[in-house]
Structure 1
Amino acid sequence: MPDRTEVRIGEYGSVLLAASQLTPRDVTRLRALQTHGRLSLEQTLTGWRLKAGATVGLLALDRIRLVVEPKFAIPGDRLMGWLAYALGAPTPIPVTSRHWATGPEGYADLVVGALLEQCERLLREGLRRDYVRHRSLEPVLRGRLDVAAQTTLRYGQLDKLHIRTFDRETNIWDNRVLGAALQVARTLTTNSDLARDLRAIADAFPKGTPPDAALRALDRTQYTRLNARYRAAHTWARLLLRGGGVTDILTDRDTAADGLLLAMPALWEATVRRLVTDAVGPHGGRAVVGGCTAGITVRGDLGITSAFRPDVLLSLPDRDRAVYAPLPVDAKYKRYDRHGIGAADVHQLLTYSAGYTSSGDRRAVIVHPCAGGHSYRVLQIDSPRGSLGNIHVLGIDTHALPQKATAWLGSTLPLTNG
């Protein structure tokens, strides 16, 4: 991999780049990311102004390595736990067997290391084998004779036989997608120890699968008892092959982003969705399947009818578990432990409370990340005609384990009416 100048900026930060630092190919790729709202690129008199959005990680361009750092740091071991929790990885990555630390590559090395850890485990257990169909021309009969090919291509000659065989081998899609992900991982890390381990293990997996083909295969994968142990490795492979994000494919017209970028708002929404669902389960609550599909609808404006809905709609029982009441929850990737709630978010949550809760119990919940301990406060919204409702603001300590955050949420969320 050619040497590249490293450029580091913070989330929502910006940097001025000289015209010589970006190639035409780089500009095309950055424009594709701009289309997806990941960053912005503006041409200046002397070069380019690059501004990051709420997307962090590593982007390897032709002449620079762009590292976008998050607004507030998460320890490496905690990050692996939160990522596994948000992505629904079946088993947490064992943090004791490898030193997880947020190094110069930030999140990229962590996810690369997670993939490596899972691939090493699969190799120790033995890679899965399955029957693969082959067609070949052989001097002896093995398998089945391909009569049609023999008669039309060999014209009665029997010195070579067209045969069809089924052989058990590791060159199957479960392993091929990991081989493709390992090749991508080798381009992302500059850590010599990690690069050495990747080279050593990559030879054990089938090669030659393009990343887009591997992604399509992952999307089609169905897990059974035969390949269930591959689920965790496939989770990290999918993240690397897509370039990052929970549902993020950073491609546009066959222009792929060479890097690992995590869309933090989407990741936080996935985290909160699982957190609150797990928190209310022991109390008899549940998340509404489909997430309140009706939504709140706006009609009569210029353009088409629009609808919006909270990130999660919980259905909670009263004290006797006789009546279930809805509670809208919205995930906000904002530092509301340091700043007051913005007017736009107050209006949004009041709309949710009016649309989904009863007139006698207007309430809604904001869940945001914070550091240094969980936080909780209640906003009381009043008007000249009386109370408009309450907004419960819950801060989740991202330095804690997800399981502890779940327990705290279960004891703090307004789980009953009143």
Structure 2
Amino acid sequence: MIEPVVLKEFQQGSEVRTIDQGTAAALAKTELVKVTPLADGRWRLQTAGKVGSVRIGGLDVHVKPKMGIARLLFLLGYAKNPNFLPEDTPGTVEDDLWPALAESLVRYCERALARGPIRGYTPVEATLPLVRGRILVAEQIAARPGQSFPLEVRHDDHTTDVPENRVLRTALRIMSGVPRLPDGIPGRIARLDARLSEVRCLTGASPNLAWSPTRLNAHYGDALQIAEIVLRHQSAESGPGGLKVASFVIPVHRVFEDFVAVALRESFARFRVRVDDQVSSYLDDQRTIRIRPDVVASLNGEPNTIVDAKYKFQDNSGTNGDVFQIVSYCTALGVTTGCLVYAHGAKEAAWRSIRNSPIRILQYPLDLTATPALLLRSIAELAERLLART
């Protein structure tokens, strides 16, 4: 067993390990860390702007999120569904991503399945010795011309094999194969899997997670949120030479951008302000310089405020380029209010007036170590400050 590699997000230093080339190639493919060859079979491992955990053969690599695992899971859940409320966030103090995620998934699945798996009607095509549902005439003639039985039919089956249960079972199956699960978790996963024994697992690199919230599946909501996080970001596959690769890798800057956009949309909605994210436009009249602001807020159908989320430290030396960028966005879209939202709350919010221009830029820090309730309150206060300016 190789000594685990533990890095912290934004860590400047690196770790050096002696590993074989196949392991190094598989690790690089996960994109969790930068892998640079040195001499004598040694490799330098550095952070690459993502967090998560990877196990390849006997090598464990972890990049720990600065905000903490519980807060990261909240941002992931809220960015996909604003109904993922602060009190729904896993109350875990685990310092390792896989145990924390496994505990959350199992706990919410146990709660969802306490009354038994939900059922629904699913269309089934089958060959039967009797009439059930509707006879598929064309299929019957093609399969057995001139024969009356057996019959090709289609009918609705009242079953537990519905999309919601498929999402849960697939996530549980994936989680059962990750390393370092806490004591008791494998047994709890096995019991949950047995309750879903009639349910098919989803297949493919990008499984279809299509399900719609209804009154009947409302109690599944939290479990489905955690399960979808597992399915979107976790994988288990074979690497070079048959190496087993288990990975959970998250591009945190994208999660932060999504969270800011969704939280602002929710906050602005009560003021009847429309919010669009990742709006594609151009800086120049020739339409050759493309721009893509994270958030464009519009009032009465016209762009009113532009917000860009920056997942990095806010310091005295690193924000000039960000200001240049947001001023360009404001100029191109004809608005006078811009905002840079930073992911670290070390400084106070501050307005910047641009010389010889009506444009004002608000630099606004968010403390991601705060509770989810305080975090959402900070976004609501941001929306009010921007509206007061315009």
Q: 1:241 to 1:5 in 2, by over 3 A?
A: farther
Mapped contact 2:280–2:290 kept (Cα < 8 A): no
Structure 2, unaligned runs of 5 or more: none
Mapped contact 2:305–2:337 kept (Cα < 8 A): yes
TM-score by length of 2: 0.79
Mapped contact 2:283–2:332 kept (Cα < 8 A): yes
Mapped contact 1:84–1:93 kept (Cα < 8 A): no
What is residue 283 of structure 2 aligned with on the other side?
Answer: 296
Q: 1:30 to 1:150 in 2, by over 3 A?
A: same
| In 1: Cα distance, 2:360 partner to 2:142 partner | 81
Q: What's the CA shift for 1:66? A: 1.1
What is residue 117 of structure 1 aligned with on the other side?
Answer: 107
How big is each residue's C-alpha offset from its partner over 1:342-399, in whole Å with a ceiling of 9 and x where there is no partner? 33212111211211235xxx43110012247x831123343xxx35743210011221
The 3-state SS of whatever aligns with 2:343 is strand
Q: What's the CA shift for 1:40? A: 2.2
Match of 1:393 among 342, 363, 372: 363
The 3-state SS of whatever aligns with 1:17 is strand
1:340-355 matches, within 5 Å, as 340-355=317-332
Q: 1:291 to 1:121 in 2, by over 3 A?
A: same
Match of 1:377 among 350, 355, 360: 350
Q: What's the CA shift for 1:124? A: 1.4
| In 1: Cα distance, 2:359 partner to 2:125 partner | 68
| In 2: Cα distance, 1:62 partner to 1:253 partner | 9
> CA RMSD, aligned part only?
4.0
The reply to whether residue 200 of structure 1 matches residue 191 of structure 2 is yes
What is residue 328 of structure 1 aligned with on the other side?
Answer: 306
What is residue 320 of structure 1 aligned with on the other side?
Answer: none
What is residue 26 of structure 2 aligned with on the other side?
Answer: 29
Match of 1:51 among 36, 46, 53: 46
Mapped contact 1:375–1:396 kept (Cα < 8 A): no
| In 2: Cα distance, 1:126 partner to 1:293 partner | 46
Q: What's the CA shift for 1:411? A: 3.6
Q: What's the CA shift for 1:48? A: 1.8
| In 2: Cα distance, 1:114 partner to 1:82 partner | 14
What is residue 168 of structure 2 aligned with on the other side?
Answer: 178
Q: What's the CA shift for 1:324? A: 5.6
Q: What's the CA shift for 1:65? A: 1.7
| In 2: Cα distance, 1:66 partner to 1:11 partner | 13
Shifted more, 344-353 versus 40-49: the winner is: 40-49
Structure 1, unaligned runs of 5 or more: 318-322
Q: What's the CA shift for 1:30? A: 3.0
What is residue 75 of structure 2 aligned with on the other side?
Answer: 82
1:113-152 matches, within 5 Å, as 113-132=103-122, 133=124, 135=126, 143=132
| In 1: Cα distance, 2:54 partner to 2:33 partner | 12
| In 2: Cα distance, 1:47 partner to 1:88 partner | 43
| In 2: Cα distance, 1:122 partner to 1:30 partner | 35
What is residue 64 of structure 1 aligned with on the other side?
Answer: 59
| In 2: Cα distance, 1:68 partner to 1:296 partner | 37
Q: 1:253 to 1:390 in 2, by over 3 A?
A: farther
The reply to whether residue 311 of structure 1 matches residue 311 of structure 2 is no
| In 1: Cα distance, 2:280 partner to 2:273 partner | 18
How big is each residue's C-alpha offset from its partner over 1:195-254, in whole Å with a ceiling of 9 and x where there is no partner? 3322332221246635527x4221x4444555455454333222212326xxxx999999
The 3-state SS of whatever aligns with 2:281 is coil
TM-score by length of 1: 0.74
- Quick one: which amino acid aligns to residue 363 of structure 1? T
Shifted more, 363-372 versus 201-210: the winner is: 201-210
State percent identity of aligned pairs. 20
The reply to whether residue 238 of structure 1 matches residue 228 of structure 2 is yes
